[in-house]
Amino acid sequence: MTVRVRFAPSPTGMFHVGGARSALQNWIYAKQQGGVFVLRIEDTDAARNKPEWTEGILSALDWIGISRGSYEGPYFQSANAGEHRAAAARLYESGRAYYCDCTREDVQARTGSQYQGYDGYHRDRGLGPGPGNALRFRTPDEGTTVVVDLIRGEPTFENKLIEDFVIARGDGSPVFLLANVVDDMTMGITHVIRAEEHLPNTPKQQLLWEALGVKPPIWAHVPVVVNEKRQKLSKRRDKVALEAYRDEGYLAGAMRNYLMLLGWAPSGDREIVPWSVIEDEFRLDEVNLSSAFFDEKKLRAFNGEYIRALPVAEFIDACQPWLTGTGTIAPPPWQPEEFDADAFAAVAPLAQTRIAVLSEIVPNVDFLFLASPLIDEAAWTKTMKDGSAELLDDAVAAFEALESWDTESLKSTLEAVGAERGLKLGKTQAPVRVAVTGRTVGLPLFESLEVLGRERTLTRIRAARLRLV
């Protein structure tokens, strides 16, 4: 039997990081088993679906390494609507489903509770199809439904506790439960790997598989992804869009590595490992049962490690979208003609050790490409104290006299300026840094001054001195 797994997102918004994890788990499992990864776009929610969301899914998968052409599909659920309706008709004709015209208010009035499930009122009343009549599945009165799950063992559900659930609406359109089952049958899906939030629906889906005369797939419900408050990640509350992380400057390799650690870990005391190790070692039956905490701080740390591991030339290439404002990246504060590729290449190794996401490259190097620095007013107020004006005067005089404009000469010169005032180098260089770069933190100062050059450095220090008059 050829293993066939599927990833079935809905094109109703940005691509969720939890969905990205599920896609990767399915992808790896299919590769390990010599199977097939199927992409199905569940696009039946016409009111919320947008073509750009579908393209967003495809491009997000491309980014994390599941590239177009390497999987089967994409298929679109809407194209299978005829099969959905045919399956609903077969279930009705075989007696496994019946029509019901009860409203929610009707059920509440009979049961006396808004929390009570459907009471089976129309089970044997012989109501036929008609406008407003929903089709309900006839759940067995006795026995149990056993879900064979590669992660959770064999969860068992009593059939009498499963209400007769709706499989087609009053307008005849099948609901998600039925459409999902029919699509999986049509596509020959053998394993369904998805988040545990779908587990409560699984016995219903398994009953549908059996009623339609097809052996159910093997299930694997991975732990749900939660935030720091142990709440399920929500698009309304949490930062969950994969595209947002991509556009902020997270590397695909770091994101893949981190997502695969949500509920699973490679062998040994290690977390940052080559992708080939993850592909080789990942096992569904080793996935944890407890919820997986999506820790953005940890992800940032991961990403910083991946950035520092890049060859410098690759780091320079990776920064280009933020330096040029291409694609979905906002343009930098300088004009294209102001950018100096050689200057950036000179400071790139310094920047590479200091940023955690690629978007941070812009505030670290903008002083090199702007006519004047963008002054952080809070930094200015904090740094430019009594005596700063005189210190800047001395720095200008000392720098003007330098024969060699290099890092070591600049450092020793400013160190001497501070020593005459009884200041350590850290206190001495702070006003110079703000005058030249506009900030109190950033790249090493003296390497930066060497790249910026004598004329521009002195111009900026003089401008800051005039502001202190």
What's the CA gap between 276 and 271, in Å, rounded? 13
Note the residue count of the chain: 469
DSSP state of 171: T
CA R_g for the chain: 31
Determine if the peptide bond prior to 266 is cis (ω within 30°). no
**Contact (Cβ atoms closer than 8 angstroms) between residue 139 and residue 203:** no
Centroid of chain to Cα 261 = 14
Backbone angles phi, psi at 49, to 5 degrees: -75, 140
Task: Using alpha carbons, list the distances in angstroms from residue 465 to 224, 373, 387, 400.
Answer: 57, 14, 11, 15
Neighbours of 310 (CB within 10 A): 16
What's the CA gap between 83 and 69, in Å, rounded? 26
DSSP state of 149: B
Query: Token pair of 225, please?
Result: 């992804």
What's the CA gap between 375 and 343, in Å, rounded? 21
What's the CA gap between 332 and 338, in Å, rounded? 11
DSSP state of 199: G
DSSP state of 164: -
374: left (phi over 0), alpha (psi -120 to 50) or beta: beta
- Residues annotated as part of the active site: 235
Q: CA angle at residue 432 from 427 to 433, to 5 degrees?
A: 90
**Hunting for tokens 């208010």 — which residue is that?**
105
**Contact (Cβ atoms closer than 8 angstroms) between residue 159 and residue 143:** yes
Q: What DSSP assignment string belongs to 215-267?
A: PPPEEEEEPPEE-TTSPBP-TTTS--BHHHHHHHT--HHHHHHHHHTSS---S
Centroid of chain to Cα 78 = 26
Task: Using alpha carbons, list the distances in angstroms from residue 258 to 1, 17, 314, 386.
Answer: 32, 11, 21, 48
Specify the 3-state DSSP secondary structure of 31.
Answer: helix
